[in-house]
A and B are shown apart, each in its own frame.
Chain A
Amino acid sequence: MDNEAAFDKFKTCTVEVLQVEPEKVTLDARFGDDLDADSLDLVELVMALEEAFNITVDESELEGVETVEQAFKLVSSKA
């Protein structure tokens, strides 16, 4: 999967789980401040991404992940 297709998939999951406008899901968007996501929302988002990309993300890997770019890098490195 090329990077663009992967980001589209990432975006689709994020829009679906967090119910935000697609244009808000930019690389520099912060989950808390920009996408109004709390810790439970992020758990659900990670589950959706694991499902969509057929990967497993350990809780410890999410430490310090605050932006879409950080999360996308983590996911795409595993996909």
Chain B
Amino acid sequence: MRTVSGPTGQEAGGRRVAVTGIGVLACCGIGRDAFWDGLCGSPPEGERRVPGFDPTAWFGPKEARRVDRFAQFAVAAAAMAIEQAGGRDSLDADPQRAGVILGTGVGGLETLEEQVLLCRDKGAKRVSPFLVPMMMPNAGAAAVSMRYGLQGPCEAVTTACAAGTHAIGNGARLIASGRCDVVLAGGSEAAMTETAVAGFGNMTALSPTGVSRPFDVKRDGFVLSEGGAVLVLEELGSARSRGATVLAEVLGAASTADAHHLTAPAPAGAGAAACMELALADAAMGPADIVQINAHGTSTPLNDAAEAEAILKVFGSPGPPVTSTKGVTGHALGAAGALEAAAVVLSIQRSLIPPTFGVTTPDPAAGLDLVLGAARPWQPGPVISNSFGFGGHNGCLVLAPPGD
């Protein structure tokens, strides 16, 4: 990863970025093992909420009432990630060189909706003094920094469905550039409110059949879900010298905008293709080096067509194996990119590519080597993970097994 991102960015490679822990909560399970089993199993029935989430496992009873569900997911994911990395005390970085960068699409929407109704029904004097600190999109990052005493950059990325990917890219850049030695990066979302469902539904983004089937001929929209994932990122050398297990490396990241349309991708996926190329350049790699693509693959007609076209343009046909874990996870908006980065790290660990569930007839127009049916064995290597958000935001990460 370069110290500066961009087509005319500094060519000099930055410091190497290790992933030493991951924490994840998704509709297919809480924790790495449940999540992975879920990715390789069947999609959950019904609404895709995080099953059996009990905030009191991570919060005292008063604190649990003061923190919106999306921020609870952020803290829970961070706690699991730090535990895998060896615990807070093992991250012996200078607190001012330890940061938190978390993405979310909308922040504390459930709290906001509840308080809007309360304000209408009972008057402005009854609006909670906790409304603002609960709804703000940076509440998750703030809660994580306070819990662990991380005093470096602590920021929220809000680029709709690209937020989780951008957050990890930005967090990795803080390490590559030398600003931080440790960054907790990822994203969380809990926006499955009636209003949000109606909004997405009325813009015809949601699947009316409630089936997530990325790159299928019958795909008809995404399935809304929720969740959170956090990665512990560390400078590779210091991670190794403290004896941490390095799970993966972040080799590159890129962020671009279509500058085309609020919700529709640029024709032929031009913005997505440019972003993938930029991420490859950041990783000092060519298309032939990539051996797995974790697609954005939302199951909407437009996204999947544009993304497939972009993949073919960058990688040729059939190109590397492609999977969209959204067949199982649904679309967790600002958490999606983080959940998918976690899926990639687990895919590297377990030498299996999780399949794209929900697909019965792959869209022949897509022309992709889609991983279908069962998880596919692979020789772990560099992976590109894509996320694209309403507003024309594109984000790509290049993750790989740890190098020498």
Check: B126 CB closer than 8 A to any chain A CB: yes
Q: With A19-B60, A19-B61, A19-B65 given, is the CB distance from A40 to B126 under 8 Å?
A: no
> Chain B contact residues (Cβ within 8 angstroms of A): what range?
10 to 19
Chain A neighbourhood of B65, CB < 8 A = 19
CB pair A40–B61 under 8 Å, yes or no, is no
CB pair B61–A43 under 8 Å, yes or no, is no
CB pair A18–B128 under 8 Å, yes or no, is no
Chain A neighbourhood of B62, CB < 8 A = 18-20, 36, 41
CB pair B129–A44 under 8 Å, yes or no, is yes
CB pair B130–A40 under 8 Å, yes or no, is yes
**Which residue of chain A lies nearest to B62 when distances are taken between CB atoms in the complex?**
A19
CB pair B126–A44 under 8 Å, yes or no, is no
Check: B261 CB closer than 8 A to any chain A CB: no
8 Å CB interface, B93-138 against A: 125-126, 128-130, 133
Interface of A, helix, strand, loop or mixed by DSSP: helix
CB pair A47–B125 under 8 Å, yes or no, is yes
Q: How far is the CA of A29 from the CA of B344 in the complex (A)?
A: 53
**Which residue of chain B lies nearest to A18 when distances are taken between CB atoms in the complex?**
B62
Contact count A vs B, C-beta below 8 Å: 21
**Which residue of chain A lies nearest to B130 when distances are taken between CB atoms in the complex?**
A40
Chain B neighbourhood of A18, CB < 8 A = 62
Check: A66 CB closer than 8 A to any chain B CB: no
**Which residue of chain A lies nearest to B60 when distances are taken between CB atoms in the complex?**
A19
Contact with A along B56-80 (1 / 0, CB 8 A): 0000111001000000000000000
**Which residue of chain A lies nearest to B122 when distances are taken between CB atoms in the complex?**
A51
Q: How far is the CB of A18 from chain B (nearest CB, A)?
A: 6
Chain A neighbourhood of B61, CB < 8 A = 19
Q: How far is the CA of A33 from the CA of B130 in the complex (A)?
A: 21
Q: With A18-B62, A19-B60, A19-B61 given, is the CB distance from A51 to B128 under 8 Å?
A: no
CB pair B125–A44 under 8 Å, yes or no, is no
Chain B neighbourhood of A19, CB < 8 A = 60-62, 65
Contact with A along B233-277 (1 / 0, CB 8 A): 000000000000000000000000000000000000000000000
Q: How far is the CA of A47 from the CA of B118 in the complex (A)?
A: 13
Contact with B along A19-30 (1 / 0, CB 8 A): 110000000000
8 Å CB interface, A26-67 against B: 36, 40-41, 43-44, 47, 50-51
Chain A neighbourhood of B60, CB < 8 A = 19
**Which residue of chain A lies nearest to B65 when distances are taken between CB atoms in the complex?**
A19
Q: How far is the CB of A55 from chain B (nearest CB, A)?
A: 12
Chain B neighbourhood of A41, CB < 8 A = 62
Q: How far is the CA of A18 from the CA of B189 in the complex (A)?
A: 27
8 Å CB interface, B120-170 against A: 125-126, 128-130, 133
Chain B neighbourhood of A44, CB < 8 A = 128-130
Further contacts, 15 of them, CB under 8 A, given A36-B62, A44-B129: A18-B62, A19-B60, A19-B61, A19-B65, A20-B62, A40-B129, A40-B133, A43-B129, A44-B130, A47-B125, A47-B126, A47-B128, A47-B129, A50-B125, A51-B126
Enumerate the 5 nearest inter-chain pairs by beta-carbon distance, A residue then B residue, closest first: A19-B62, A43-B129, A19-B61, A40-B129, A44-B129
